[in-house]
Structure 1
Amino acid sequence: MGERVLPRAERRRKTEGRILDAARRLFADAGYERTTIRAVAKAAEVDPALVMQYFGNKQELFRQAVRVTPDPAAGLSADELVEQVLGTLDVKMGELPQGTLAMMRSMLTHPEAATSAREALGRQIDRLAQSIPGDDARLRAALTVAIMLGVTVGHQLLELDELREVSREEIARVLRPSLLALTGPEVR
C-alpha cells in the first residue's frame, strides 16, 4: 500500500511549521537583519513565494517565530509544550529587529505601545491557555508568557550579565522545571 495522503489543512500546517522552525533557527543564528525570506525558504525547502503567502513579510514571520503560542489542536504533553516555549529562547536572545526593541522600550511609558504589547501578549496567553489543563490555565499561561518576556527584557534591554554570559541551553535547563510546573497538570 502507498503512503496516506495528508489532508490539505494538515499539509499546510506542516509546511507552516517547517517554515517557522527554519525561521527560528536562522533568526537565532544570523539575527534579524541578516535573515532573508529566501534563506528561510531554502532552509524549509519551499518556494520564497510560499513564505510570503503564509506570513506576508519578514516582520510578520519574525513575530510568528518568536510567539509563545503552540497549536492547541496538537495535543501536546507538558514536556512538549515546555520545549516549544523554550524553543523561542534562541530568537528572543538573538538580534531583534529595531521595531521590536523600540516597542519593548516604550511599552511601559507610552499608552499606544502598552496597548499593542498587551494585545500581542493577550493573544499568546489565549493560545497557550488552550494547551494547559485546569481552571487556572489563563493565569498559568500569563505567568509563562511573563517569564519569557522577562528573560527577553533582561537579556535584550537590561543586558544582564547573568543572562548574557550563559548559553540558551543553560537558561532553558534552569527554566524547564518552573515552566513544567506552570504548564503541567493542575496542582491544588
Structure 2
Amino acid sequence: MKKNRTLIFGLLILMLLATLVSCAPARIHSGSSTNEIDLNVNATLDRFTRDVKGASEFLASAKGVLIVPNVIQGGFFVGGQYGEGALRIGGNSVDYYSLAGGSFGLQVGAQQKDIILVFMEKEALDKFRSSTGWQAGVDGTVAMANIGAEGSVDTTKIRDPIVGFVFGQKGLMAGVSISGSKFTKLAR
C-alpha cells in the first residue's frame, strides 16, 4: 500500500514538472532582453484593451502601468510564480521588473497569466519606484478590479491608488490575489 502511494506521488510530481516545463518561456532562467519584454508587454496591452471595455480610458488616466506578461504559476502543495515585465509611464517603458511569489497549501497544477498593476496616484507610483523590493499587500495595497457585465471596467467606481488585473489567455480572472508577490527592479 505504501509503495502505491509513493508511486502515485512520484507520478504526480513528474506530471507537474512536465506541465511547468511545457508552459515556461524558453528564457525564464536567463532572463529576457528588454526587447523581448517590450514585445510581450505590447501584446498583453493590445489584448487587454481589445477584450475589456473601458480599459483604454482607464489606462489613459493612470500615472503608471506595470505589465507583467506570461507569469508562470505552478505548485504541488508548495507553489511559486515568476514573470518579468515593464513599468510604463506615458506609454514608454521606464523600468523593468521581475515578479516572484510563493504559497503553501492544497494546490496542484500550473497556469500562465498576465498581471497588470495600474498606479492611479503619483505617490503610490513614486513609492513603488523607490523601493528595492516592493511586496503587494505589505508595501502597498492592490485593489483587484471588479469587472462588470460583458467584461467591462467601470472607471467611475475605481478610487484606489493601485488597481490590479489578472488577465489570462481566456480573459480576466476573477477571485485572484497577488498579495505577497514581490516586485524587484531588474538591472537592464
- TM-score, normalisation: structure 1: 0.30
Structure-2-length-normalised TM-score? 0.30
Question: Counting helix residues as a fraction of each chain, which structure ranks higher?
Answer: 1
Structure with greater proportional strand content: 2
